[in-house]
Amino acid sequence: MTNERIIMSTLRTENISKQYPGTLALDNVTATFESGQVHALLGKNGSGKSTMVKIFAGAIKATSGEVYLDDERLDFKNPQEAIDKGIATVYQELSLVPGMNVAENILLGRMPMRGKFIDWKKAYKQTKEILEDLGVDIDPKEMVMNLSMWQCQMIEIVKAMSTNPKVLMLDEPTSSLAQNETDLLFDMIKKLKKKDVIIIYISHRLQELWKIADTCTVLRDGVYINKTIMAETSHEQLIKMMFGDVKIKTRPDDLIVGEKTLLEVKELTRKGHFEDISFEVKEHEILGIAGMLGSGRTELLRGIFGADKVDEGKIIFEGKEIDKPTPHKMKKAGFALTPEDRKHEGLIQVLSVHTNLCVASLDYISPKHKITKKMEKPFVDKQIEDLEIKVPNVDLPISSLSGGNQQKVVVGNWLNTNPKIMFFDEPSRGIDVNAKQQIFDIIWEQSRKGVSSIMVSSELEELLEVCHRILIISNGKLIGEVKPEDITVEDLYKRCIGGK
């Protein structure tokens, strides 16, 4: 195939619907996606976009309607049939095998053989050619466990492209990437546009869409709303299509920073991660920490919380130094940490919503450690009501909730410990705009109640929107401090990568 090809490949739906008991996930949707372009597929949680992707990928069948790839009607019985037909999906949760090298991961199940043995010379040669064709400079022999997150994301895409698909669906490909890494990924995606591939791109990071997407297809409550050209669509128009009339909030004026210092961090160092970090947090204050992925932001929070051992420095809380912090000791003192990886570190996926809301607060519910569901119920009910957690039954597994509601459970679990200071590590990762605003409302309401917060986010706009003050970390060192009203997001980004 060449760039001169006139007839574009198309993936289209005609009046597809998907009915679940009590829910119409897709309602008579007709949409078209052409090759040679990046198509953003957008919608809030529950809009139907995940359902549409699963139908394309062969994971579920539509209740009615039809799907066509060019002029061929598709009717997959399983995901493998979709792959065989040329539809590849790269999901948010990466599927690489850490204990294998790059070539093994890309050619998994398709390794070239010489008799009964793997032809390693041919495997490495094939892999190198695929990587070079897509402009990826990674050694085929490198172990995946040694790669960075953005390199793993690129390998996932290379793996999908190695099957020469007609359709490539990318689900939240930048959710774990910093801005400079996102730019590298975008360079790769732009190369894919020239290969006559239909690219469907799903992301909650709306601000990045104008950099990578050519068109935008919006679903709301299972209904097709519109398809627009990104360059001709404003941020406000996009939000309105997704949510109707939603007000994008800024930090309320009544959130006043107190005069009393709650936390002092002095010359804190964890070798290889951060060095000589000093700052203070006042009562009621929401402090942001900005920096690129790998700058030491998460490691700093974990070091203060006692999840990782620090080498030097002091942590002074309410005027008293905390010696050799541990999570148990810090929780008892009044600290709470909502981790970046809510799925693996913030929640217990096999347990119920009820249980996940009580895990951190068992000592508070019953100091004698004799726990019953009746004793836990007031703690569960309070957080569901206060945080507006949408759950039909608290005994359902946590995995049954949307990403936004799962994040609320993570927060509610720690609020049940009556914290004095909350650490929020990427609190809006992988959730939609509406859910983000709800999380920000929670942080602001805790500030009103006297709870201080430290917030880490890769989306610098969020820090400007939510926080009173922002620290800037680069390569493990504190390089600056700004107030949101005194800086633009462009300038903040420049500072994060070491510019002035």
**Residue 45: predicted pLDDT:** 66
**435 pLDDT band (50/70/90 cuts)?**
confident
Domain range for residue 457?
Answer: 261-496
Beta 477-482 vs 469-474: how paired, if at all? antiparallel
pLDDT tens, position by position, 90-112:
887 778 899 999 999 999 888 99
User: Which pTM was predicted?
Assistant: 0.63
> Could you tell me if 389 and 268 lie in one domain?
yes
- Whether residue 325 is contained in a domain is answered as yes
In this structure, are residues 5 and 196 in contact, taking their beta carbons and an 8 Å threshold? yes
Please state, in angstroms and rounded to a whole number, the distance separating the CA atoms of residues 102 and 124.
9
CATH of the domain at 479: 3.40.50.300
**Residue 141: predicted pLDDT:** 95
**180 pLDDT band (50/70/90 cuts)?**
confident
> Could you tell me if 155 and 278 lie in one domain?
no
> Could you tell me if 207 and 96 lie in one domain?
yes
> Could you tell me if 304 and 355 lie in one domain?
yes
> Could you tell me if 103 and 229 lie in one domain?
yes
- Whether residue 1 is contained in a domain is answered as no
Please state, in angstroms and rounded to a whole number, the distance separating the CA atoms of residues 256 and 141.
55
**401 pLDDT band (50/70/90 cuts)?**
confident
- Whether residue 252 is contained in a domain is answered as no
Number of helices and strands in the chain (H, E): 17, 22
In this structure, are residues 455 and 467 in contact, taking their beta carbons and an 8 Å threshold? yes
- Whether residue 251 is contained in a domain is answered as no
> Could you tell me if 268 and 196 lie in one domain?
no
Domain boundary among 175, 209, 243: 243
Please state, in angstroms and rounded to a whole number, the distance separating the CA atoms of residues 53 and 94.
17
- Whether residue 235 is contained in a domain is answered as yes
Please state, in angstroms and rounded to a whole number, the distance separating the CA atoms of residues 327 and 333.
10
pLDDT tens, position by position, 195-236:
889 999 998 777 789 999 999 999 998 999 999 999 999 877
Buried residues in 167-182 as b, exposed as e (16+ CB within 10 A)? bbbbbbbbbbbbbebb
**Residue 163: predicted pLDDT:** 85
> Could you tell me if 352 and 294 lie in one domain?
yes
- Whether residue 389 is contained in a domain is answered as yes
> Could you tell me if 218 and 280 lie in one domain?
no
- What average pLDDT does range 124-128 have in this prediction? 94
Domain boundary among 178, 210, 243: 243
- The letter for the amino acid at 172 is E
Residues in contact with 160: Cβ distance below 8 Å, sequence separation at least 6, in sequence order: 88, 89, 90, 168
> Could you tell me if 230 and 316 lie in one domain?
no
**Residue 7: predicted pLDDT:** 55
> Could you tell me if 181 and 314 lie in one domain?
no
- Whether residue 3 is contained in a domain is answered as no
> Could you tell me if 215 and 325 lie in one domain?
no
Distance of CA 126 to the CA centre of its chain: 32
Handedness of CA 479, 485, 486, 492 (dihedral sign): positive
Integer CA distances (angstroms), 281 to 128, 263, 265, 455, in order:
50, 5, 9, 12
Element holding 478 (H helix, E strand): strand 477-482
Residue whose tokens read 């030097």: 312
Please state, in angstroms and rounded to a whole number, the distance separating the CA atoms of residues 197 and 193.
6
- Lowest mean pLDDT, pick from 201-215, 240-254, 280-294, 407-421: 240-254
> Could you tell me if 146 and 275 lie in one domain?
no
Please state, in angstroms and rounded to a whole number, the distance separating the CA atoms of residues 466 and 60.
39
What is the domain count for the chain? 2
- Whether residue 253 is contained in a domain is answered as no
Please state, in angstroms and rounded to a whole number, the distance separating the CA atoms of residues 384 and 409.
8
Please state, in angstroms and rounded to a whole number, the distance separating the CA atoms of residues 46 and 24.
10
Domain boundary among 243, 274, 294: 243
Q: Which DSSP category does 60 fall into?
A: S
